[in-house]
């Protein structure tokens, strides 16, 4: 890391769904409304931040691009249709770009891991739409093939997921992709090692990596923004070195409860259905349980 990098500490925001209206229940565990999202972008702009992408950072590292004075990275997980329909128009209006992590399995039309019952559908972006966002200058990254947590896969399976998802997405874009986001933010030393051997240049976690941007490029810490993020909290997130605040918080908490981080990833990340999960014998929720629970819930209605 050079001197410039020492001063550079890019905050990375993580969004999921962006909904036109508040949902009737709390089905979508991680969302913001379009009007809240617009306020966030206005605040980003007002505070002098300029959204960049991981690809911009890569070019900067290669000496091919100068970064703005206050760069920030806005990311979206899963590649929901509402990212395309609700978030992107607002980003374009503000002349801002973002990074969108989509699924490698292009036959997936819905985020079944996010659906708890009928009428609670989470459609995903089509190939056409993924191509369109890329053409508009947004960075497209991969989010595994089928949203299975890497923590429970063998190293061979992880490599396969990485290669396959990169391949699938590159073939629809006809362009190279560089960035990956771990499903459920699930990453440990073993997973990180496998990913660092892959063709990806960056990988995003949530609560695990260093609070210093660029130090752990295969476990980039992100700040989750969702319906619980009041505007004043969003302002603090931008104003304070919030990634350090969360880092300290998790260090203290995980000393009291070593499994806390994993519980946090499962309970707070992605979706509400996990809250109803039965625990497996070792106390950890099993992903297969989650999916089966989810599907049977849907089918029994």
Binding site for Zn ion (CB under 5 A): 77-78
Q: Which is nearer to Zn ion, 49 or 80 (CB)?
A: 80
Q: Which of 7, 8, 32 is closest to 21 using CA atoms? A: 32
- Cβ closer to Zn ion: 78 or 246? 78
CB of 14 or CB of 217, closer to Zn ion:
14
Distance CA 100, CA 77 (A): 6
Q: How far is the CB of 47 from Zn ion (least distance, A)?
A: 27
Q: How far is the CB of 239 from Zn ion (least distance, A)?
A: 28
Which C-beta is closer to Zn ion: that of 80 or that of 234? Answer: 80
Q: Provide, rounded to whole angstroms, the least separation between the CB of residue 198 and Zn ion.
A: 18
CB of 3 to Zn ion, least distance (A): 36
Residue 101 or 178: which CB sits closer to Zn ion? Answer: 101
Q: What is the DSSP string of the chain?
A: --HHHHH---EEEEE-EEESS--SSS-SSSEEEHHHHHHHHHHHHHTT-EEE-HHHHHHHHTTS-PPPSSEEEEEESTTBHHIIIIIHHHHHHTT---EEEE-S-TT--B-GGG--STT---BB--HHHHHHHHHTT-EEEE--SS---GGGS-HHHHHHHHHHHHHHHHHHHTS---EEE-GGG---HHHHHHHHTSS-SEEE-SSSS-SSTTT-TTSB--EE--TT--HHHHHHHHHTTHHHHHHHHHHHHHHH-TTHHHHHHHHHSS-SGGGGPPP-TTSPPPHHHHHHHHHHHHHT-
Classify burial at 195, counting beta carbons within 10 Å of its beta carbon; exposed 0-12, middle 13-18, buried 19 or more: buried
Could you tell me the smallest distance in angstroms from the CB atom of residue 68 to Zn ion?
A: 28
Quote the least distance from Cβ 40 to Zn ion, whole Å. Answer: 20
Cβ of residue 205: shortest distance to Zn ion, in angstroms?
12
Identify which of residues 56 and 78 has a Cβ nearer to Zn ion in the complex: 78
56 vs 77, beta carbon nearer Zn ion: 77
Residue nearest to Zn ion (CB): 77
* Residue whose tokens read 């992880």: 158
Residue closer to Zn ion (CB basis): 108 or 245: 108
Question: Taking the complex as a whole, how short is the minimal distance between the CB of residue 128 and Zn ion, in angstroms?
Answer: 21
């Amino acid at each position: 890391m050079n001197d410039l990098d020492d001063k550079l500490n890019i905050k990375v925001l993580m969004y999921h769904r962006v909904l036109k209206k508040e949902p009737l229940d709390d089905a979508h565990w991680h969302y913001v409304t379009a009007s809240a999202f617009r306020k966030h972008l206005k605040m980003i702009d007002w505070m002098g931040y300029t959204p960049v992408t991981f690809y911009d950072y890569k070019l900067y590292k290669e000496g091919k691009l100068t970064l703005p004075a206050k760069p920030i990275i806005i990311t979206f997980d899963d590649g929901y249709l509402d990212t395309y329909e609700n978030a992107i128009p607002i980003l374009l209006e503000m002349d801002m770009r973002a990074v969108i992590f989509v699924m490698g399995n292009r036959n997936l039309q819905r985020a079944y891991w996010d659906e708890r019952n009928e009428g609670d559908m989470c459609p995903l972006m089509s190939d056409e739409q993924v191509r369109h966002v890329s053409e508009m200058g947004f960075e497209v990254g991969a989010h595994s093939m089928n949203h299975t947590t890497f923590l429970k896969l063998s190293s061979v399976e992880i490599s396969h997921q990485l290669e396959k998802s990169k391949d699938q997405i590159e073939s629809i874009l006809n362009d190279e992709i560089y960035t990956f986001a771990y499903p459920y933010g699930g990453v440990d030393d073993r997973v990180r090692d496998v990913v660092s051997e892959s063709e990806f240049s960056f990988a995003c976690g949530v609560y695990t990596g260093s609070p210093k941007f660029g130090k752990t490029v295969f476990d980039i810490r992100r700040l989750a923004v969702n319906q619980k993020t009041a505007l004043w909290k969003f302002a603090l997130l931008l104003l304070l070195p919030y990634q350090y605040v969360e880092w300290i918080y998790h260090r203290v908490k995980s000393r009291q409860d070593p499994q806390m981080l994993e519980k946090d990833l499962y309970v707070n990340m992605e979706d509400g259905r996990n809250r109803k999960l039965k625990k497996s014998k070792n106390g950890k929720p099993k992903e297969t349980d989650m999916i089966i629970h989810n599907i049977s819930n849907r089918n029994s209605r």
